[in-house]
Chain A
Amino acid sequence: MEQDKRRRYMSFFGPRPESDVEDEIAFHLEMRAKELMARGMNQAEAREEARRRFGDRARLEAEMRRMEREKARKDARLAFFRDWRSDLTFVRRSLVRQPLFTIAAVLTLGLSIGVNAAIFSAVNAFLLKPLPVRDGDRQMVLMYMFKKDNISSNVSYPFYREVKELPVFEDAVAWSGWEVALRNGNNAQKGFVLAGSPNYLTALGIRPALGRIYTPEDAAARAQVVVLTDAFWAREFNRDPSVLGRTLHLNDAPFTVIGVLPPAFIGTQPLIVPQLMMPLESLVSFYPEITRNLEDMSWGSLRVLARARPDASMEQIRAAVAQYSADLERRYPKELAEQRVAVERETRARPDLSISGIVPWIAGVFFGMVGLAVLVACANVTNLLLARATARRSEIAVRGALGAARSRVIRLLLTESVVIGALSLAVAYGLARFSIHWFNNLDLAIDVPVSFGLEMDWRVFGYAAAIALLAGVIAGLAPALMGSRTPVSDVLRESGRSGAGDRGRTRFRNTLVVAQVAVSFVLLVCGALFMRSANGAAQLDIGFRRDQLLLANIDLSFRRLDSAQTRRVQDRILEGLAALPNAQHAGLGAHVPLGGNNNGGNVFIDTRPAAAPQGLYQVFHSSVTPGFISAIGLRLREGRDFAPTDDAGTTPVTIVNRSLAAALWPGENPLGKRFRLQEGGKEIEVVGLIDNAQYLLLGEQPRPFAYFPLRQRPSNLTFIFLRTKSADPLASVADVRRVILDVDPNILVTGFRSMETHLDHGLALFFVNMAATLATAIGLLGLLQTVVGLYGVLSYTVAQRTREFGIRQALGARASTIIGQVVRQGSVLCGIGLGIGLVIALALTRTMASLLYGVSPTDVLSFGGAFLVVCAVAFVSVYLPAWRASRVAPASAIRSE
C-alpha cells in the first residue's frame, strides 16, 4: 500500500513504462479474481483461474511494454512542442505588455546586427563569393608585379598564350577593357567594351540568355560581332528580344548584336560592368594596331584568369608560375627585368593584386568594430533582461515552487531572448537591405560603369541569422541562469522587494558596465580616427589644386580621324576653351591624376648618364597640351611649359617631376638633360621641372613621372582641364559644351565634374570617405548603445537603492552626500572601463596605421575626444538617477519601491 501510494505520486513526474504495465496487468487479474470469487470460487482457485484465462502473461507484458515505451516517446515529443508553444505564448504576452523594453532590446540588437550584416555583405562580395563562371573557385589571376614596390601591371597576349599551356592549368582566358564611342542609331554615348580572348566566353562556361555568345570562330574571322550584358540590354533596349541582328557603331565601325549575356555574368574585371563583349581580334576594325600588339610580349594591356587543374595544389601552381617567371626573365632580360609573375586565387586578388593584400585587413578592422558593437548590444539586452528578471523574480520563483523544473524556467527565459534575437533579425535584415541598396546606388565620379556586387544572398542572411541567434542566447544566458536560481523563500521573505543585496548579480552588472565603457571608448576612438583620416586625406598635398577646376572627358574616336585632323580638332577645342570669359587657364591631358586606371604606362629609359645607378627605370607618363600645367595647378619649378611650337617635327621635349630628376640626375639641374623612350628612339630633352604629385594612389610614395606634348605623343581620348574664374567650376559646363559643339557636333563629351568631385567621389578619396562614414556610423552606434546601456544599468542600480537612500536621509544624511557617493561608485567603474578601453584601443589602432592618412594612430585629439564623450555620458547616467533618488521624500521611498 505504501509502495502504491509512492507510485501514484511518482506518476506526476512522467511515465514509467515498466511499472505501469505491471500495474495494469495486476489490476486486471485482481478484478477478474474478485469477480470469480463473487461467483463462489475461493481465493486461491479464483486467482488460478484468472491467471489461466489471462494466457501468456510474459509475452503480453513484453509487448505492452514495448508499446508503452513507444507511446511515452511520442508523448514526450508532443509535450515538448506543447510546452514550447505555451512558452512562445507567454513570451509574446510579456513582450507586448512591455513595449518599451521590447523596442529598446530589439532596436539595440537589430541595428548592430544590421550593420554587421551590411559589412559582411561587402566582405562576401569582395572576398568570399567566387566569380559566377565555370569552376569559379579554381580561377587564378596572373599578373606582373614590379619587384621594387609590388605594384601590379597587366600582361601581354604572348604571355597569355604561354600561361595557357602551363601543365598546372586546364585553360585560361585573357581580356582587356576598352573605352569606345558607342552609337546606337543617332544616340551616341561612351561605352565600355570587354575584349576577350577567342575562348573567353566559351572557356568560362557562359550560356547566352538570348541569341548566342561569340566563339573562337568569330575571333578567327575577326567578325564584327558584340554580345550585350544584361544591364545594358535592359537600359538601352528595354529587354527587347528583337535586338539580335541590330547594328551598333563602336568608334564608327559597325558591329552586329549576336546575343545577350545572363544577368549574373558581368565579366571578370573587378568592380567594372562592361556594356558589350567582343573578341580581341575584332578590335582591328577600329584599332588596326591590335594585330601587331597581340604579338608583342611587352604590350601589357591584358588581364589573365587561368583555371587550375582540380588536383593542382596552390604550392604546385606557385612553383610552376615562379619557374615560368624566371624563364621569362631570361628570355626578355630588358623588357621584363623589373617584373616577376604573380599568381593568386581570384577571390584573393580583388580588386587588384597591388592592394588585395590590405583588403582583408580593412575587412578585419571593420569586422572587429561591428563585432564589438554587437557585443555592446548583447550586454545592453542582457542588462535589460537582468533588470526585468529582477522585477520578475517573484513570478519565476513561484513558478519554481509550483513544480516547474529549473530547466523549464531556463528554457522559458531563453526562449524569450531568442525571440528578441529573431525580432532583431527582422530589423537587421531591413537595415542591411537598405545599406546594400544605398551602397550599390552610390553615384561615383568614375568614367566607367562600376558595380560593387553587394547583395543579400544566402551567405549574408545566414550570417545575420547566426549572429542574431547567438546574440539572443548570449544575451539571455546570464539572466536565465540567475533568474532560475532564486530560491522562492528569499523572494517571499522580501515580499517582492529588492534590496541592495544579491552580490553576484551586482558584480555581474558592474562587470558589464566596465566592459561597455571600454568597448564604446574603443569604438569612438576608431570612429574619430577614421574621421580625422578622411579630413587628413582631404588636406594631403597632392601636388595640384582641387578647387576651381572643371573636368570633362572628350572622345574623338567617333570618326576615324588621321593624326593631323585629330590635332586640328584638339587645337580648336583648346582655343575655344581659353577664350571663354570664365577661363583662367585651359589645357587637355590624356589622363586625370588619381583617376584609378589608365594613368600612364611603363617606359624604359635606356640611355643613362654615368651618375645614375644601374638598372632600368620605370616611369609613368601622360600627354598634355600647353596650359595643362597651369590649369591643373602643378608647380613648375624650373624651365618652361610646353609651347604650340613643340610639335611633331621639332625636338621631342618633356617636363619631368623631381622624383624622376632625382633618380636620373641626382644633385644636378635636369634642364637640358636628355633620355630616350625606346632603344634607338629619339632623344627627349627636359625643358621643365615640376614638384612631385600623386598620380595613382592617394598617399603613395613620390614616383617618377614625365609629361610629353600631346602633339608629340597623341591620344584620341583626352580630358578637358579648365581653371575657372568663378568659385564653382560647374558654372562653365554650358559654355564648354557650346565650344565643343562649334568644333564638331559629333564629339562625345561626357563626365563633367569638378576636380573636388573627382577626388571625393572618384577612386581617390571614395574609399577613405566611405571608411570614415562607416567608422563614424559604427562609433555613433556604439555611443548610442553606451548611453542606453550605462544609463539603463546605473539608473537601475540607483533606483533599486531608493529605499536605502530614503532610510539614510531619514537618519540625517544629506542629499549631496548620497549623490556624491553614487557618483563616486560610478566613476570608479568608468575609470576601470576607460583604462581597459585605452589599452585595447592602443593595440587596435596600431594595426590600423596603414589605413590612416595624415593622422597618427595615437592621435591625441581622437583619444581625448572619445575620453571626454564617454565621461560625459557616464556622468549624466549616474548623476541624473542619483539626483532623482535624493529628491524622493524619505517616507515614500521607504514605503514603496
Chain B
Amino acid sequence: MPAETLELLRGTLDLLILRALKVESTHGYGVLRWIERATGDELRIEEGSLYPALYRLEKRGWITSEWGVSENNRRARFYQLTRKGRAQLETEVDEFVRFARAVFRALDVTPVSA
C-alpha cells in the first residue's frame, strides 16, 4: 500500500460504487475493497464518504440494500444494483470517458485506452 494516495475526483465515487456493484452484490467493505484493488490501491476511499454515498444512491433508487449473512457468517448489509442503477452506470461511464478524453486532449496526453 503506497504511502500517498490520490484524492478522489468529485463525482467519481458514485460511479465507482455503481461499477463495483455491477460485478457482484456486496457489503460496504466489499465495495471499498473492490475500488482499492481495481485502482491498484491508488485511490483512497474515505469511509466517511462511502457510507453516506451508499445511502444517497439507495435513496435515488440506483441500488437497494438488504441484510444478509457475510462469507464469515456475520450479519451484514448487502447492496445491489437496480435496473435503474445499471442504466445510470452506463450513462455515467460514457460521460466520464468523454470528460476524461477532453481533459487528456487539453493536456495533450494520449490515454492508454479509452
Interface residues of A (CB under 8 A from B): 4, 7-8, 11, 20, 23-24, 27-28, 30-32, 34-35, 53-56, 59-60, 63-64, 67-68, 70-71, 74
Name 7 interchain pairs, CB-CB below 8 A, sorted by A: A24-B51, A34-B72, A55-B46, A56-B48, A60-B48, A63-B51, A68-B55
B52–A8 contact, CB under 8 A? no
Q: Mark B64-103, 1 if CB is under 8 A from A, else 0.
A: 0001001010111100000000000000000000000000
A705 and B73 alpha carbons, distance in the complex (Å): 106
Contacts A27-B70, A60-B48 known; A32 to B29 CB distance under 8 Å?
yes
Partner of A24, one of B28, B33, B52, B58: B28
Given A28-B47, A32-B29, A55-B47, the answer on whether A64 and B52 have CB atoms closer than 8 Å is yes
| 15 extra interface residue pairs, beta carbon distance < 8 Å, beyond A11-B67, A27-B77, A34-B72 | A4-B75, A8-B75, A20-B67, A24-B51, A24-B77, A28-B28, A31-B27, A31-B29, A60-B47, A60-B48, A60-B51, A63-B52, A64-B55, A67-B52, A71-B55
- Interface membership of B59, Cβ < 8 A: yes
Known: A35-B33, A64-B52. A71 touches B47 (CB 8 A): no
Minimum Cβ distance to chain B for residue A207 (Å): 53
A63 to B53, CA, bound (A): 11
Interface centre among B33, B47, B59, B74 (most CB of A within 10 A): B47
Interface centre among A32, A60, A64, A70 (most CB of B within 10 A): A60
Whether the pair A67, B55 counts as a contact (CB closer than 8 A) is: yes
Give the chain A neighbours of B29 by CB distance below 8 A: 27-28, 31-32
A residues near B72, Cβ cutoff 8 Å: 34
Contacts A27-B70, A28-B47, A60-B47 given; indicate if A20 touches B77 (C-beta within 8 A): yes
- Asked whether A27 lies within 8 Å of B51 as measured between CB atoms, the reply is no
Q: How far is the CB of A675 from chain B (nearest CB, A)?
A: 96
Which residues B7-53 have CB closer than 8 A to chain A? 27-29, 32-33, 46-48, 51-52
A792–B108 CA distance with the chains assembled, in angstroms: 89
**Which 5 interchain pairs have the tightest Cβ spacing?**
A67-B55, A31-B29, A28-B29, A55-B48, A27-B76
Given A11-B67, A67-B55, A27 and B48 contact (CB-CB distance below 8 Å): no
In the complex, the chain A residue whose C-beta lies closest to that of B29 is A31
> Which B residues touch A60, using CB under 8 A?
47-48, 51-52
Bound CA–CA A27/B47 (angstroms): 13
Which B residues lie within 8 Å of A30 (CB)? Answer: 74
Q: Is the CB of B33 within 8 A of A27?
A: no
Residues of A close to B75: CB separation below 8 A: 4, 7-8, 23, 27
Which residue in chain A gives the minimum CB-CB distance to B69? A8
Query: Which chain A residue lies CB-closest to B52?
Result: A63
Give min CB distance, A31 to chain B, whole Å: 4
Q: Tell me, rounded to whole Å, the shortest Cβ–Cβ distance linking A647 to chain B.
A: 100
> Which A residues touch B46, using CB under 8 A?
55
Q: Please report the C-alpha to C-alpha distance between residue A4 and residue B58 in the assembled complex, in whole angstroms.
A: 25
How many angstroms between the C-alpha atoms of A28 and B28 in the bound complex? 7
Q: List B residues at the A interface (Cβ < 8 Å).
A: 27-29, 32-33, 46-48, 51-52, 55, 58-59, 67, 70, 72, 74-77
* Cα of A11 to Cα of B75 in the assembled complex, Å: 11
Q: Give the chain B neighbours of A67 by CB distance below 8 A.
A: 52, 55, 59
Closest to A24 in B: B77
Q: What's the minimum C-beta distance from B37 to chain A, rounded to whole angstroms?
A: 11
CA distance A4 to B27 in the complex (A): 18
Known: A11-B67, A20-B77, A24-B76. A54 touches B47 (CB 8 A): yes
How near does chain B come to A25, taking the closest CB pair, in angstroms? 8
Complex Cα gap A55–B52 (Å): 14
Looking at chain A's contact residues, is the secondary structure mostly helix, strand, loop, or mixed?
helix
Smallest beta-carbon distance B29→chain A, Å: 4
Least CB distance, A182 to chain B, in whole angstroms: 71
Minimum C-beta distance from B96 to chain A (A): 26
Chain B, Cβ-Cβ closest to A56:
B48
Q: How far is the CB of A434 from chain B (nearest CB, A)?
A: 49
Pairwise interchain contact B74-A27, C-beta atoms closer than 8 A: yes
- Contact in complex: B48, A64 (CB < 8 Å): no
Looking across the interface, which residue of chain B has its beta carbon closest to that of A26? B74
Residue of A nearest to B59 (CB): A71
Smallest CB gap from B65: residue in A? A71
CB neighbours of A56 from chain B (8 A): 48
CA distance A28 to B30 in the complex (A): 9
Q: Which residues of B contact A54 (CB under 8 A)?
A: 47
What is the chain B residue whose CB lies nearest that of A7?
Answer: B75
CB distance from A75 to the nearest CB of B (A): 10
Q: How far is the CA of A35 from the CA of B67 in the complex (A)?
A: 22
When distances are taken between beta carbons in the complex, the residues of chain A under 8 Å from B27 are: 24, 27-28, 31
Q: What residue in chain A is nearest B28 (Cβ atoms)?
A: A28
Chain B residue with the shortest CB-CB distance to A21: B51
A632 to chain B, nearest CB (A): 85
Instruction: Count chain B CB atoms within 10 A of each CB in A31, A32, A53, A55 and give the residue with the most.
Output: A31
Q: Measured between C-beta atoms, what is the minimum distance from B47 to chain A in Å?
A: 5
Bound-complex Cα distance A7 to B69 (A):
12
Contacts of A34 in B (CB 8 A): 72
- A880–B33 Cα distance when bound, in Å, is 79
Which B residues touch A68, using CB under 8 A? 55
CA distance A67 to B65 in the complex (A): 13
- Are B48 and A59 within 8 A (Cβ)? yes
**Which residues of chain B are near A7, meaning CB under 8 Å?**
75
Interface centre among A4, A23, A24, A64 (most CB of B within 10 A): A24
Residue of A nearest to B77 (CB): A24
B residues near A32, Cβ cutoff 8 Å: 29
Contacts of A23 on B, CB cut-off 8 Å? Answer: 75-77
**Complex Cα spacing A330 to B95, Å:** 97
Please, which residue of chain B has its CB at the minimum distance from the CB of A34? Answer: B72
A481 to B104, CA, bound (A): 71
Nearest Cβ in chain A — how far from B61, in angstroms? 11
CA distance A20 to B75 in the complex (A): 10
Q: A53 — which chain B residues lie within 8 A by C-beta?
A: 47
With the chains together, A30 CA to B72 CA distance in Å? 11
Q: When chains A and B are docked, how far (Å) is the Cα of A854 from the Cα of B52?
A: 85
Closest to A8 in B: B75
In the bound complex, how far is the Cα of B51 from the Cα of A56, in angstroms?
Answer: 13
Chain A residue contacts of B32, Cβ below 8 A: 28
Q: Tell me which of A7, A27, A34, A63 has the highest count of chain B C-beta atoms within 10 A of its own C-beta.
A: A27
Distance to closest chain A CB from B79 (angstroms): 11
For A39, the closest partner residue in chain B by CB is B1
CA of A665 to CA of B48, assembled, Å: 111
Shortest beta-carbon distance from A48 to chain B in Å: 15
- In the assembled complex, the Cα of A64 lies from the Cα of B33 at a distance in Å of 20
Q: Distance in Å from the Cβ of B34 to the closest Cβ of chain A?
A: 13
Which residues of the partner chain A approach B33 to less than 8 Å between Cβ atoms? 35
Chain B residue at minimum C-beta to C-beta distance from A31: B29
How far does the Cβ of B105 sit from chain A's closest Cβ, in whole Å?
37
Contacts of B48 in A (CB 8 A): 55-56, 59-60
**What is the CB-to-nearest-CB distance from A719 to chain B, in angstroms, rounded to a whole number?**
81
Query: Given the complex of chains A and B, what is the CA–CA distance between A34 and B73 in angstroms?
Result: 14
A30 and B27 alpha carbons, distance in the complex (Å)? 13
B44 closest partner in A (C-beta): A53
Question: A583 CB to closest chain B CB, in angstroms?
Answer: 91
CA distance A23 to B33 in the complex (A): 19
